[in-house]
Amino acid sequence: MTTQSPSHPALPDLGLKPNEAANSCAVPPQRTHTNGKAFEETSVEQTADGAFRRQRNAFTKRFGDGPGQAPVEAGRYHILGALGCGWNRRQRIVLRLLGLQDVFVPEVTYGRDADGWKLTVTPGSVGEIFGVDRLNDFYRRTNPNFTGRGTSPTVIDVQTGTVVTNNYHILSIDLETAWKPFHKAGAPDLYPQQWRQEIDLLNQQLFDDVNNGTYKVIFATSDGAAKAAYGVFAARLADYDFRLASRRYLFGPHLTDSDVRLFQTLESFENGYRPGIVKKLGTESVLHIWDFPNLWAYARDLFQTPGFIDDAELYELGYVPGADGEYSHGFARDKESPFGVPEFTTRREQYERWLEPSGRESLTGSPLYSGPGGGGSYELWTWAQ
C-alpha cells in the first residue's frame, strides 16, 4: 500500500467533482432511473419470491491461444470499471499483484443512469480513441442488437473497439494463467495448479454467499429473502473466521485468487454495504467485520499488503478524504438510496483501525479444510481449467 498522508490521497485526475464517482458499482443509487424506469436489480433480476438473482454476463470470451479465444497481446486491451465496484477492484488487485497494469490497462468508469455507465474520456482512453462516452456504446458496437445492461468491469479490444468480455467471474483466472508470460518477477502464483479445483469451489461459495450476498440482502424485494440472505452471509463469515484462526490465508500459507475475492467485500463492507443492510433489515444489530477477530485481522493483513488497495480506492471506499477534506459517499447517498445514509464521523478512526498490526505473519496452516470440496467433490469441478 502506498505510504501517504491520511488526509490527502493522490487521486487520479478524472475531471470529476468530489463524490461524482461515488456511485460506482454495477448497482444504482436509487430504485428508479431519472426517467422513472425501474432499475433491473429490483425488477427484472428478481425471483418470484422476491430474491435478487443477478443477470448473466453477456460476453464471456477467454484469453489464450485456443480456438475462439482472445490473443494475449500486451497493450491491446483496456479494462473499464468503477473504483467502487468489487468485481472491478478484484481485477485491479490482481493486475497490481502480478505487475500487469501496463500491459492490460485499467480505466475508470463513473456514474450510471438510464444510458448506462459513463466513461472517463482522457488522452489515450478508449473513449477518446473511438469517440464515445458511454460503456453501452461498446456493447452496441459488438452486438447491434444488445439491449441489456453493460457492467463493470468490461474489457475492450483497442484494435477493434469491441467488447472481449465482461465475465468478472473468470477474468482474474485468465490474468493469473494466460497472461503469465507478462507477470513481473516474483509475482505470486494466485492460482496454483494443485489447488485449482478447490479454489474454484471456494470461489463459487464466496460469490453466492459473500460477494453477491450483500446485494441479495439489499436488493431483495421481500423481507423473507432479505433475512435469509443475511443469515447465510453472517454464517459464512463465521465459517471463514474459524478457518482463518490457524491459517494466514484461506489456503494456509498460500495467497490465492480466493483471498482477493473475499477481500473485495471485506474492504467495502462497513462504508459500502452495512448501511444498506441496516436499512433493509430495519435494525442496527447488523454485524461488523471486527465482530470476527480472525477475519478482521486477516482483512487488515491484506489491507496492508502492497497491491491490495491504492490511493484512489482508499478515497472511493471512504477511508480518507480528498484534498478538499470531503469523504466519498460510496454507495450510500440519501434516504432514497437502497444503500442507506452515509456516516462520516468515524471514518478517520476506522481507517486507523485498518492500519493496526494484524499479528498474522507467523501463521501458516494447512491448505485443507472441511469444505467446500470435501468427499472428493472437488474432482467434479473443471470449468475454469
Q: What is the pLDDT of residues 357-381, one digit of tens each?
A: 999 999 999 999 998 988 888 787 6
What is the average pLDDT value for the chain, to the nearest integer? 88
Q: Report the chain's C-alpha Rg in angstroms.
A: 20
d(CA 303, CA 260): 11
DSSP string, 25-45: SSS-SSSB-TTSPBPGGGTTS
Cell numbers for 167, please give them: 465475465
Residue-level pLDDT at 186:
97
Residue 81 is which amino acid? G
d(CA 204, CA 207): 5
Handedness of CA 184, 151, 265, 354 (dihedral sign): positive
Contact 171, 165 (CB under 8 A): yes
Under the banding of pLDDT at 50, 70 and 90, the label for residue 33 is very low
Helix (H, G, I), strand (E, B) or coil at 104: strand
153 prior amide bond cis, ω within 30: yes
- In this prediction the pTM is 0.89
Handedness of CA 53, 202, 60, 98 (dihedral sign): positive
Give the mean pLDDT of 8-36. 41
- Residues 296-333 have pLDDT tens digits of 999 999 999 999 999 999 999 999 999 999 999 877 66
Under the banding of pLDDT at 50, 70 and 90, the label for residue 69 is very high
Residue-level pLDDT at 140:
95
d(CA 235, CA 209): 9
| Low-confidence winner among 52-66, 148-162, 253-267, 273-287 (lowest mean pLDDT) | 52-66
9 prior amide bond cis, ω within 30: no
What length does the chain have?
Answer: 385
Query: Which of 158, 199, 157 has its CA nearest to residue 177?
Result: 199
Residue-level pLDDT at 333:
63
Under the banding of pLDDT at 50, 70 and 90, the label for residue 235 is very high
Contact 280, 217 (CB under 8 A): yes
Query: Which of 72, 71, 77, 133 has its CA nearest to residue 105?
Result: 77
- Residues 137-164 have pLDDT tens digits of 999 999 999 987 799 999 999 999 999 9
d(CA 351, CA 6): 8
Residue-level pLDDT at 124:
95
Contact 95, 106 (CB under 8 A): yes
Query: Which of 328, 355, 342 has its CA nearest to residue 82?
Result: 328
Does position 7 have pLDDT exceeding 80, yes or no? no
Contact 263, 211 (CB under 8 A): no
Query: Which of 345, 351, 307, 314 has its CA nearest to residue 1?
Result: 307
- Which residues, in sequence order, are CB contacts of 322 under 8 Å at separation 6+? 8, 9, 11, 18, 315, 328
Under the banding of pLDDT at 50, 70 and 90, the label for residue 43 is low
Does position 201 have pLDDT exceeding 50, yes or no? yes
Contact 282, 220 (CB under 8 A): no
Residue-level pLDDT at 17:
39
Contact 99, 10 (CB under 8 A): no
The architecture (CATH level 2) of 191-380 comes to Up-down Bundle (1.20)
Domain boundaries, the chain: 191-380
Residue-level pLDDT at 380:
77
